[in-house]
């Protein structure tokens, strides 16, 4: 898990650092807000297109080889961003970066599901997704510091140095993954044979106990709950990518001019998000309840974004709003990924996670492009945040169309007990 978390930190850092580069990059290259939003969003078009094949490739070639490969590619592409001079180059590199990173997040969710039983999975997924707030906590100040302190060093602007210094280390980290990450429970060297068998037996028991399990690839596309999950993920990705790509801009627009100060303030939503994420994950695992534990953080996100939009010129209220949104979106993500695994069998899990990630990530293109266009053409800078918040509210309400017995351990157990009791009565 520590190695996975470290890789995920760099994945999220290389995803969100373009938001800090924007503070210098757009004026240097003459990009409009719409151009930047479109280019930033292209990452997620590629992410959506390549998510499924990348996840299937991970399943085919093994976690360590595939993750190592895509990390080398995305690390190189991040560093190459320093060479961008035209909108077309910006669009091309962002698209390729999205294609390279496409299989990482759903691939690791798949990987975790094959190591940890359901009763511990929300907590362990929270440990994995802690990379998002950590990347925000350390990435903001570091990116801001690099941009300010290394500006014009050896003739390169600060944003160029930021891409180089945050991209190259990923290539070396990929080689560590190749050497040390085990593909399966059976490959681990720190577990005894009895411990390996215990884990595998518990995972197999859970598979048999699923209320509704999709067992074929084609059935994934015809299951209504998969499409409900896509809609929920769509709204969740809206909030996550709004924060990742536009938080520095919102804070800068509220009156903070120093890039380093913007970086420090940008870390606050992620700092409070860490604590809330573990609280929600632990509570969900302890109580065996998923739906309300996902609904509440998503609603908190919508409230926070509305506040940041309504008070866009007041730095205190903007930061408070972003902190609420950071708490909600950070906590919601690991909870969300417990839902698909309740419907997908072991045989269809890789494809199913890839499909959900791909279709849901279309929102990740829409959010940055819409915000950029509205900032260029509409006087009210908060309008885009109101629209995004409305979609998040709709997504959060959709959660309750999913049967509690399918996703809540306590309800599934109750249903199973009632079935056993009914069978005994008939006997």
For the residues 111-131, what does the mean pLDDT come to? 82
- Cα separation, 97 vs 89, in Å, equals 12
Tell me the pLDDT of the chain averaged across its residues: 84
Q: Which tens digit of pLDDT belongs to each residue from 153-194?
A: 999 999 999 999 999 999 999 999 999 999 889 999 899 999
pLDDT at residue 421 in the model: 52
Q: How confident is the model at residue 322 (pLDDT cuts 50, 70, 90)?
A: very high
For the residues 93-120, what does the mean pLDDT come to? 86
Nearest CA to 300 among 283, 277, 278, 266? Answer: 277
Nearest CA to 293 among 277, 306, 307, 304? Answer: 277
SS3 427: coil
For the residues 183-208, what does the mean pLDDT come to? 88
pLDDT at residue 360 in the model: 74
Instruction: Please measure the distance between the N-terminal and C-terminal CA atoms of the chain and give it in whole angstroms.
Output: 48
pLDDT at residue 81 in the model: 92
Apex CA 48: angle with CA 47 and CA 52, to 5°? 100
SS3 344: strand
Express the helix, strand and coil content of the chain in percent, nearest 5 each.
Answer: 85, 0, 15
CB neighbour class for 385 (10 Å; exposed up to 12, middle 13-18, buried from 19): buried
Q: Which residue has the higher pLDDT, 409 or 44?
A: 44
Query: Would you say residue 76 has pLDDT above 80?
Result: yes
For the residues 95-108, what does the mean pLDDT come to? 87
Query: Would you say residue 416 has pLDDT above 60?
Result: no
Query: Would you say residue 347 has pLDDT above 80?
Result: no
Q: Which tens digit of pLDDT belongs to each residue from 235-261?
A: 888 888 778 777 887 888 888 877 778
Domains in the chain, please, with CATH?
Answer: 2-184+218-414 (1.20.1250.20)
- Cα separation, 427 vs 416, in Å, equals 17
As a whole-number percent, the residues of the chain with pLDDT over 90 amount to 27
For the residues 206-230, what does the mean pLDDT come to? 80
- Cα separation, 353 vs 45, in Å, equals 17
> Residue 291 to residues 123, 391, 404: CA-CA distances in angstroms?
16, 18, 7
Q: Which tens digit of pLDDT belongs to each residue from 37-65?
A: 788 778 878 887 888 888 888 888 888 99
Query: Would you say residue 221 has pLDDT above 90?
Result: no
CA 346 to chain CA centroid, nearest Å: 22
Contact between residue 171 and residue 71 where contact means Cβ atoms under 8 Å apart: yes
> Residue 294 to residues 277, 287, 393, 398, 413: CA-CA distances in angstroms?
11, 13, 12, 11, 20
pLDDT at residue 386 in the model: 87
Apex CA 328: angle with CA 324 and CA 331, to 5°? 135
Residue-by-residue DSSP string for 381-397 = TTHHHHHHHHHHHHHHH
Apex CA 341: angle with CA 206 and CA 8, to 5°? 120
Q: pTM for this one? A: 0.71
């Amino acid at each position: 898990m520590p190695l996975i978390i470290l890789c995920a930190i760099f994945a999220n850092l290389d995803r969100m650092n373009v938001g800090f580069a924007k503070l210098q990059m757009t004026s240097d290259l003459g990009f409009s807000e719409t151009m930047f939003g479109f280019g930033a969003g292209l990452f997620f078009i590629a992410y959506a297109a390549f998510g499924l094949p990348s996840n299937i490739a991970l399943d085919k070639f093994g976690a360590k080889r595939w993750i190592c490969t895509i990390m080398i590619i995305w690390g190189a592409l991040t560093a190459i961003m320093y060479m961008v001079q035209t909108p077309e180059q910006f669009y091309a590199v962002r698209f390729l970066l999205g294609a390279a990173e496409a299989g990482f997040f759903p691939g690791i969710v798949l990987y975790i599901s094959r190591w940890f039983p359901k009763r511990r999975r929300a907590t362990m997924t929270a440990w994995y997704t802690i990379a998002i707030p950590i990347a925000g906590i350390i990435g903001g100040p570091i990116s801001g510091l690099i941009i300010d302190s290394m500006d014009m060093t050896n003739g390169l602007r600060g944003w160029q140095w930021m891409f180089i210094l945050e991209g190259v280390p990923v290539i070396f980290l990929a080689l560590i993954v190749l050497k040390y990450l085990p593909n399966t429970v059976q490959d681990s060297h720190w577990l005894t044979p009895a411990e390996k068998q215990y884990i595998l037996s518990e995972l197999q028991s859970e598979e048999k106990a699923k209320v509704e399990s999709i067992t074929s690839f084609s059935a994934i596309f015809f299951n209504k709950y998969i499409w409900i999950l896509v809609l929920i993920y769509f709204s969740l990705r809206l909030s996550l990518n709004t924060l990742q790509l536009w938080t520095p801009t919102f804070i800068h627009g509220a009156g903070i001019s120093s890039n380093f100060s913007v970086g420090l303030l940008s870390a606050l939503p992620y700092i409070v998000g860490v604590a809330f994420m573990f609280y929600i994950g632990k509570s969900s695992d302890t109580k065996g309840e998923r739906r309300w534990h996902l609904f509440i953080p998503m609603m908190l996100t919508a409230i926070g974004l509305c506040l940041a939009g309504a008070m866009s010129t007041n730095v205190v209220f903007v930061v408070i709003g972003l902190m609420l949104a950071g708490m909600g979106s950070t906590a919601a993500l690991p909870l969300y990924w417990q839902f698909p695994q309740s419907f997908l069998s072991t045989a269809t899990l890789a494809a199913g996670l890839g499909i959900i990630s791909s279709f849901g990530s279309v929102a990740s293109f829409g959010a940055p492009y819409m915000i950029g266009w509205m900032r260029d053409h509409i006087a009210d800078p908060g309008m885009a945040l109101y629209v995004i918040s409305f979609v998040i509210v709709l997504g959060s309400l959709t959660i309750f169309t999913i049967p509690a017995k399918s996703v809540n351990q306590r309800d599934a157990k109750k249903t199973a007990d009632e079935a056993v009791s009914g069978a005994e009565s008939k006997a």
